[in-house]
Amino acid sequence: MVGIRLEKGSQGRSSLSRIYDAAAVRIDRRIGWSRFPPPLGLALLFGLRNVLRRENLFDTDALPSSGGPVAAPYDDRYLVQRTADGSWNDLDEPTMGMAGTRFGRNVPLANAYREPEPQLLSPNPRDLSRALLTRTTFQPAETVNSLVAAWIQFMVRDWFSHGAHPTDNPWVLPVRGDDDWPDRPMEIPRTTPDPTRPPRSDDSPWTSINVVSHWWDGSQIYGTTRAEQQRRRSKVDGKLRVGPGGLPGYFDEPGKDPAREPGFWLGLALFHTVFTREHNAICDRLHAAYPDWSDDDLFERARLINAALMAKIHTVEWTPAVISHPTTVAALRTNWWGLAGERIHNLVGRISSSEVISGIPGSETDHFDVPYSLTEEFVAVYRMHPLVRDEWSLRSAADNTVLRESTLRDLTGAGALDALAKISTADLLYSFGTLHPGLVTLHNFPHHLQNFIRPDGKLQDLAATDILRTRELGVPRYNEFRRLLHLEPAKDFADITGRSDWAAELDRAYDGDVERLDLVVGLLAERLPRGFAFSDTAFRIFILMASRRLNSDRFLSRDFRPEIYTQEGIDWIGRNSLSTVLLRHFPELRPALRSVENAFAPWTAADDHR
């Protein structure tokens, strides 16, 4: 998360570093980093991240394996372009982070096991969903807009997927007599087993496969296979296909129906549209500078630039918007620009090879002695469904008049495509920009996701699924998770939340046993640091993984330079933000965006700027 690391050196400096880090952990456990002024808070975060890097990165590839993906033969083109499947990012270990490889871990492998039944199903996830997660009154996150909810799903589609869930042998949950769930018992599909693992016992470390690449490479737009990429390309000037109404061309390609894809909704479709157009705008800039480049050359460089721009937006805009504590805002900016800051970077570029001075992009690649992958714990803390609203008022960017009142269900699947066909993309973006998302907290899970109609027509409670899925994947429960991330465990439920009514509800739901509290539920119950839209416990994974995704990716560290991206590409990333991207393609949004520095902050309503 932060851009300073005490460098390894002599044994004396290493010992000093460990003393410093240990002191940071003790002070954080006793007082909490967020209670200090930003300079001291940053100093604590530096030490915490050093400890997490040393003690909370674990390679599941060390476990028994019966095979895995094989990278294509090396090609010199891989020096300057990403592969479709993520192979050859690391030139010494070509399969590192590629699609089809295992998720790693942030907890010791001895603690990454699935509980045996019936403990795994206790307490009943459906009962917990009803008692603790059901949205009673919408609790808004008033410092941000609903683009934050759409953006994170857009990012997640790039980062990780456990793949399609088999329909046979589902998890079976009893349904209480007073529950109006139509199917008895409730069935939740299991995660696809890791095909590379030999048979294992319940108490062995759990592993599963990421079916997309682990890298920040824009795979949600470009695809994860060469065949997918070819179908999505126009084959002219490097551009992606664009269909009717300016929507991504692959929305209507033969044999593909986005409305049948799990999780497809309007928010996701909007960002697919925006960044498909952005790719094509980058192609225009490159073609003007390099008129002799081939279609392949233009496509590959535009993809590289577009993916890095999305990484920058997430790092210095989305994340500071949802964790807007002054210390974390400074830390995230340091990640990208270093202590020298954005102004110096924009004036003269990097002034040092050190990530401390000039940020991670352009610094040396570093895996911190553990091969890179995303982790199951990273997946767990990104279960942020409460961000999504149930009720959506779609309005005009010109005068704020209501165009349509919709529910979330109206805007999923085919309903998303209908909204895109009948309402302009600018008006839809404006509507998201002027509506608050939900707080990531208890009693704020969207009704339409608790009663989610899957593309196959079956009903699924995604709140119960989030709880069960985290258990299923061997992520420790809340208190054990905190211990393993160097935090004090909760003494009781009142120790977690500042609300006596919530503490009583948790106590009833877990029969007074705080050690059985699920991670997903505990994260939602926590008191939040100032400016945070989610928990401080989840933030520990962010401290570790946010910078690691930049440090480990060759194209976001050592090879983030003009020789790879072109100077035009480096300049494009440097001078653009989500606001400039939106205004390039939808200039009619200028009045709504004029008063905001961060496009994820609430926009000005049209009737307020006349």
Report cis status (omega within 30 of 0) of the bond before 166: no
The Cα angle at residue 487 between residues 476 and 320, in degrees rounded to 5 = 95
Separation between Cα atoms, residue 336 and residue 357, nearest integer Å: 10
Separation between Cα atoms, residue 536 and residue 547, nearest integer Å: 17
Q: Could you give phi then psi for residue 395, rounded to 5 degrees?
A: -130, 165
DSSP category for residue 407: E
Separation between Cα atoms, residue 413 and residue 418, nearest integer Å: 9
Q: Is 199 exposed, middle or buried (0-12, 13-18, 19+ CB in 10 A)?
A: exposed
Task: Look up residue 105 and give its two tokens.
Answer: 């871990």
DSSP-based three-state secondary structure for 394: strand
Q: Which residue in 222, 250, 372, 382 is the catalytic one?
A: 382
The radius of gyration computed from the CA coordinates of the chain, to the nearest angstrom, equals 23
Separation between Cα atoms, residue 243 and residue 103, nearest integer Å: 35
Which residues neighbour 418 within 8 Å (Cβ) at sequence distance 6 or greater? none
CA proximity to 329, closest of 342, 339, 319: 319
Q: At what angle do helices 567-575 and 295-313 cross, to 10 degrees?
A: 30
Which residues are bridge partners to 265 per DSSP?
Answer: 412
Separation between Cα atoms, residue 170 and residue 302, nearest integer Å: 42
Which residues neighbour 127 within 8 Å (Cβ) at sequence distance 6 or greater? 176, 509
Give the other-Cβ count within 10 Å of 567's Cβ: 12
Helices (H), 473-607: 478-484, 500-509, 519-525, 536-551, 562-565, 567-575, 578-585, 590-593
Task: Look up residue 141 and give its two tokens.
Answer: 């996150």
DSSP category for residue 409: G
Cβ(493)–Cβ(506) below 8 Å: yes
Q: Could you give phi then psi for residue 406, rounded to 5 degrees?
A: -135, 155
Give the other-Cβ count within 10 Å of 273's Cβ: 22
Q: Could you give phi then psi for residue 101, rounded to 5 degrees?
A: -100, 165
Strands 209-210 and 391-395: unpaired
Whether 382 is a known active-site residue: answer yes
Task: Look up residue 112 and give its two tokens.
Answer: 């990454």
Q: Which amino acid is at 474?
A: G
Give the other-Cβ count within 10 Å of 326's Cβ: 15
For 199-204, the CB contacts below 8 A with 24+ separation are 202/113, 202/114, 202/115, 202/116, 203/113, 203/116, 204/113
Q: Show which residues are catalytic.
A: 382
